[in-house]
Structure 1
Amino acid sequence: MVKHKRRAYADDYKQRAVDLVVSSGRSAGSVARELGLHESVLCRWMAERGSARAPADGSVAAPPAQATLPSADQAAEIARLQRENERLRLERDILKKSIAIFAGDPDMRFRFIEDRRGDYPVRVMCDVLDVSPAGYYAWRSRPESQRSSINRDLVDEIKRVHRDVGGRYGSPRIHAELKAQGRGVSRGRIERLMRHHNIRAIMARPRRVWTTDSCHDFPIAPNLINRNFTATAPNRVWLADITYVETGEGWLYLATVLDLYSRRIVGWAMQDHLRADLPLAALKMAISAQRPEAGLIHHSDRGVQYASESYRKVLRSAGFQASMSRKGDCYDNAPMESFFHTLKTELVHHRQYATRAEAKRDIFAYIEGFYNRTRRHSAINYISPIEMELKAV
């Protein structure tokens, strides 16, 4: 049994939580629930920082520019072109979504029209799919089969889950979520319905920037993990690493500490540099929040930040055992690499950050509001890190 310990929050965590309220325009109660906090705690943090409903980075929205009105003839031509473009856009979207779905089956075409009649005009879809509006309405008036009705309700539930997680889940996690909600349905059926209705998890863009500098004269710790990525309880094995996020102001670097047992991100820090105090801030956050006992294994790559005297001093004072991957072998720290891939697949590669402050707010909300508390992880039987930690209490 692991004794429950009251969590301590770093100043950076408190500031990010306040910034999330200010920048999103949401209520303190809504953000507090997302982060697993009491509303009174978040309100106290806001009061301590004198927060107002304005962006924390001090930016001010520019007044709208005065537009030059077109002449009557120009307005008429613009309206005609807009109608024509809208028609072409509708036809393109319909064809794009229907290609490879229909194999000369009118019922499938009618079902497609029925599912999307709220998005596109029925007559336009009938014209593009080469069926008559009369045929569609005759099909629509026929009694619906029991299986078709069940599938329709199931698709609605799939879309709800997909929407609630921002499109980040594919069929395995949607199946796990519906199962947890008491919906008994096979994963194969969910896969077929998602494929038929073109419901997919968002995808990542490949990009690589090296953040590891292992050419130094500092001591190298032995590899105590040897790719045995298991832990018997929380705060027995921590993994650490650094990644990067592109913004309009330049790179933002993110250092994280991951608990191998629960896959929870227990410490993080974000800066515009790669000096040793970046991962050191993440480590100190993790120690302050989790208060682990001596003997914990801390595993990282051979980067100069983790081998530096300042970092090793904190590890020694906490009684941790240092462990390092083999040179240039990312698989020796695979769970941490998996987190970075997930972060970029589900969030970063679908954003364009104008400033580092904007990226920091978004990443904080993802880690503390979604990844740690809600996201279902395949490595821990499709439950969240918080649920995994509760199982150990």
Structure 2
Amino acid sequence: MATVSGGGSSERFGFIHRYRQAFGVATLCRWLGVSRSGYYRWRDREPSQRELSDQALLKKIASIFDRSEGRYGSPRVHKSLARQGVHVARKRVARLMQENGLKARVTQVTRRQPGLKRFKQRGENKLLQFGDTTACDQVWVADVTYIKLGDRWSYLATIMDRHSRRILGWSLSYTRTTELSLAALTYALRKGRHTEGVILHTDRGIEFTASAFQDALTKAGIEHSVNRPGHCTDNAYMESFYHSLKGELIRKSHFKDIDHLRRAIGRYINQFYNTVRLHSGLDYNSPMEYERMAA
């Protein structure tokens, strides 16, 4: 059971009201050192203006939380309220969400499976000299992550514009091959974006260093950049996306087959992440909003 430390009678009465069915009013009143008559007077009194205001604000918070399908915590809910012209303290939003059980879906990033050998080929990390991006289509980043589907592993390849964090291309398969990364690249190229001179940064996996993938990059005028050996944080932007994807979509969800998972990922990327999800690194704009502002 939750605990109450400090606080006045009103806070204690509120605690009793929330847990009365589980533990009983008499037991909670004895535990918290308040009278039952005091609790019933508190329960039956008219709500204060502050309480009425909290109730109205909670409806707006719950609406934003539901539209995000439980993915927004208090910082993004707070920013969403501000975009609607509702200016309140962030701590107040956090308090109301906590009191009403509105907790965002979060998870730790799943580590990659150990024991998978990487092909070590020559290549340099061109981002070390590039610095920060100033516009879209300067640096793209790509990676592959594992998603458990029943008793099998599936593999998701994604390509992101590092400046806007927009996912440009993705592909899902039961096999981790060059065809997987090529499909994601083809998806990105179909958007008709400027590619001449773009740097695509990846790890040193064979799906990115294979000749077929390299030929496709050369044809599009894209330069390849790779992680330094032993420096997985060189591709932190893509890892951050996988953290969001797994926490906001994959965890606690059941997918009956790979087609079901593919539809869910497509909906997450195209209808939520790219279009409406507020990104703290973009001053709480979505990737596509950020691209429109930068245009």
TM-score, normalised to structure 1, is 0.67
Indicate whether 1:129 and 2:129 are aligned. no
Distance 2:184 2:22 in 1: 58
- Maintained 8 Å contact 1:171/1:191: yes
Question: Which residue, 191, 204, 210 being the options, matches 2:94?
Answer: 191
Aligned to 2:84: 181
Alpha-carbon distance change, 302 to 256 in structure 1, aligned in 2, over 3 angstroms: same
- Maintained 8 Å contact 2:109/2:246: no
- Maintained 8 Å contact 2:109/2:242: no
Distance 1:176 1:369 in 2: 19
Aligned to 1:233: 135
Distance 2:208 2:117 in 1: 10
Distance 1:309 1:110 in 2: 69
Give the deviation of 1:369 after TM superposition: 1.4
Indicate whether 1:276 and 2:175 are aligned. no
Q: What secondary structure is seen at the aligned counterpart in 1 of 2:79? A: helix
Give the deviation of 1:133 after TM superposition: 6.9
The letter of the residue matching 2:251 is: H
| Structure 1 stretch displaced more, 131-140 or 344-353 | 131-140
After TM superposition, the structure 1 = structure 2 runs for residues 133-152 of structure 1, keeping only pairs within 5 Å, are: 135-152=38-55
More relative contact order, 1 or 2 (CA 8 Å, 6+ apart): 1
Give the deviation of 1:303 after TM superposition: 0.9
Distance 1:245 1:228 in 2: 32
Name stretches of at least 5 consecutive residues in structure 2 with no aligned partner.
none
Indicate whether 1:299 and 2:198 are aligned. no
Give the deviation of 1:171 after TM superposition: 1.6
Q: What secondary structure is seen at the aligned counterpart in 1 of 2:127? A: coil
Aligned to 1:201: 104
Distance 2:131 2:27 in 1: 53
- Maintained 8 Å contact 2:109/2:243: no
Give the deviation of 1:362 after TM superposition: 1.5
Q: What secondary structure is seen at the aligned counterpart in 1 of 2:251? A: helix
Distance 1:317 1:128 in 2: 74
Give the deviation of 1:353 after TM superposition: 2.8
**1:91-116: CA deviations, max 9, x gaps?**
xxxxx3xx2236475422433466x5
- Maintained 8 Å contact 1:262/1:389: yes
Aligned to 1:326: 228
Question: Which residue, 151, 161, 164 being the options, matches 2:67?
Answer: 164
Alpha-carbon distance change, 175 to 104 in structure 1, aligned in 2, over 3 angstroms: closer
**1:249-307: CA deviations, max 9, x gaps?**
51110000001111010100001011111011000110111432311111111111111
Aligned to 2:266: 364
Aligned to 1:308: 210
The letter of the residue matching 1:225 is: L
Question: Which residue, 116, 119, 123 being the options, matches 1:215?
Answer: 119
Give the deviation of 1:233 after TM superposition: 1.9
- Maintained 8 Å contact 1:227/1:333: no
Q: What secondary structure is seen at the aligned counterpart in 1 of 2:142? A: strand
Alpha-carbon distance change, 206 to 281 in structure 1, aligned in 2, over 3 angstroms: closer
Give the deviation of 1:248 after TM superposition: 1.4
The letter of the residue matching 1:126 is: V
The letter of the residue matching 2:25 is: C
Q: CA RMSD for the aligned pairs?
A: 2.6
Name stretches of at least 5 consecutive residues in structure 1 with no aligned partner.
1-95
The letter of the residue matching 2:56 is: D
The letter of the residue matching 1:188 is: K
Alpha-carbon distance change, 291 to 375 in structure 1, aligned in 2, over 3 angstroms: same
- Maintained 8 Å contact 1:245/1:252: yes
After TM superposition, the structure 1 = structure 2 runs for residues 25-104 of structure 1, keeping only pairs within 5 Å, are: 96=1, 99-101=2-4, 103=6
The letter of the residue matching 1:373 is: T
Aligned to 2:154: 252
